[in-house]
Copies of this chain bind each other. A is one copy, B any other.
């Protein structure tokens, strides 16, 4: 069979370094674009002239550029990992409590939740992530320790930790999340104490990691569920396919359709400006730049991923 005109599998390691360097240069020209999340002080204070990019290959190699070793608040990027843990805990049962379709509504909408009786549309809306959190609390003895151990093993970085100031700020300002959690509970789709679920959710959002950590952490989704950092089978090959497909259709808030075109990779973003992306069977990726576009995705991070797939031909489309 004929191969694609520009076969990404022929890319050499030097090519990757060149490409990341070029992207870094391009992005720096645009520093200042986008709007930093300001609903809590810890996020608002992050300088906008930051950009990092890193990619991690299944053989362990890492390529990086820019501020790829500067930590940031991963926020909703964490939903990928808690979904993985929830699937590990209860498998297909999870889909009785959360659906797998794009929502067409903002990430924190309650409308669809009311019409669909407390079943969130997908695990990447806030409502859906609260279901993952609830499942984790029910199925692991120490949910917080479990998550921290998971992130450290996936990234291969024992220093990954959470930011208590961020978690506390989220807790103090998260009226909408409290509303969503109680709304779900009112439909009987939450087993644990609402505050416990929220506290775990704020904790996961407050994880601090850098691009290299995140690229390594998401790599198992590019390697049929196998984590190269820890040599552990984190999920099945089908599990990885499931999560990748969900990231493609629902990972970037209500910009999933445009993101699929513009970037062409399964991806999950967070309001801290971080994004993880997966080139299935090839690599895990992470970018970070704190300025957000109007849909809440990192503006320059999205641009960097666009340039990456266009320069490498690695868009799945």
A residues with a Cβ closer than 8 A to B are 1-5, 8-13, 57-59, 99-105, 109-112, 114-115, 121-122, 175-176, 178-183, 185-186, 194, 224, 240-242, 244-246, 248-250, 254-258, 260-261, 264, 266, 280-283, 315-317
Contacts and interface: CB of A to CB of B under 8 A. Distances in A.
Contacts of A59: 2
Residue of A105, A194, A245, A250 most packed against chain B (CB within 10 A): A245
A44 B181 CA distance: 26
A58 B3 CA distance: 10
A106 to B, nearest CB: 9
Given A3-B9, A179-B182, A249-B249, A244 B317 contact: yes
A223 to B, nearest CB: 9
A7 to B, nearest CB: 8
A249 B245 contact: no
Contact of A1 (B241, B250, B282): B282
Complex copy number for this chain: 4
Contact of A5 (B245, B260, B266, B281): B281
Given A57-B2, A182-B179, A256 B261 contact: no
Contacts of A258: 100-101
A114 B110 contact: yes
Given A176-B183, A248-B317, A316-B280, A1 B11 contact: yes
A182 B175 contact: yes
Given A59-B2, A175-B194, A103 B104 contact: yes
A178 B12 CA distance: 56
Given A104-B105, A178-B179, 11 more contacts: A101-B255, A102-B257, A104-B112, A110-B183, A111-B111, A115-B115, A175-B185, A179-B181, A248-B249, A248-B260, A248-B317
A241 B317 contact: yes
Which 9 pairs between the two chains have the least Cβ-Cβ distance? A104-B104, A4-B281, A102-B102, A175-B186, A245-B260, A316-B316, A179-B183, A179-B182, A245-B261
A13 B1 CA distance: 7
Contacts of A175: 182-183, 185-186, 194
A180 to B, nearest CB: 7
Contacts of A254: 101
